[in-house]
Amino acid sequence: MSLTVPNVFNVNGKVALVTGGGRGLGKSIAEGFLAAGAAKVYIASRDAEALEATAKELSPEGKCIAIPANLATVEGVKALADEIKAREGKLHILVNNSGAAWGGPLTGFPEKGWDKVFDLNVKTPFYLTGELVDLMDAAGTHEDPARLINIGSIAGEVCSTLGAYPYGLSKGAVHQFTQMMALELAPKNITSNAIAPGRFPSKMTEYVMNDKERYDAEVEGIPLKRWGQDEDIAGTALFLAGPSGAYITGAIIPVDGGARLR
């Protein structure tokens, strides 16, 4: 292979599924894949209106395809997987991005918060990966494996909780799941890696963005003195999904401006 930028960083002709692709990190990742030559990028979440708007914005010609799905339940996960199986014989890239957070006190933390966070952040990636592993097996080759990319968080690596106890623990579980899958899926020519973002603008972080004093304080605590941008997350996902990431598996890649080092 000639070592040119287009040859190393592309997903030409590949089919991807990005959960939580209607907004935030998932939207940025989907946009990155489309810009790098993906044949189709399916995006899925419960918000059908946001999905359709994003699909039209990112790809008016129809390469970005919205599939509404309730990924908070195993039944919803299986329904999404069945829809992908009905449309595709191969899936080159699966990005497990859908997630939830819940904050509360140590004493009296609501059980429904634990259930919501662990169901979406841990059970959903597990079951969706299992449902789609045969399509990924069909897509991967020895030199160009299929790619499983899980979106974790630096909350799964640090000890500060910010009161979001199940969130950090669930993301730690996602990181462990990623490494388990790296070993288990390697014989099927599938790599498994996780991206561990720090602070990025999203619906989940609106409460910080809308509080200037808190936002400024958080930025001051990040060694690189800023929050993440679309290019930061999209570029990392593309690095893992393209030829550049074909020999990487079991990695947890922090994209946090150094925040975890504090």
Active site residues: 167
- Alpha helix ranges (H) inside 119-249: 124-139, 165-185, 206-209, 212-220, 230-241
| Residues, the chain | 262
Retrieve residue 204's tokens: 């989940």
Q: How many whole angstroms separate alpha carbon 41 and alpha carbon 205?
A: 25
3-state DSSP helix/strand/coil percent for the chain, to nearest 5?
50, 15, 35
Q: Name the 3-class secondary structure at 42.
A: strand
Rounded to 10 degrees, the C-alpha dihedral 75/76/79/83 comes to -160
> What stretch of H or E contains 254?
strand 252-255
Which residues are 147's β-sheet partners? 93, 191
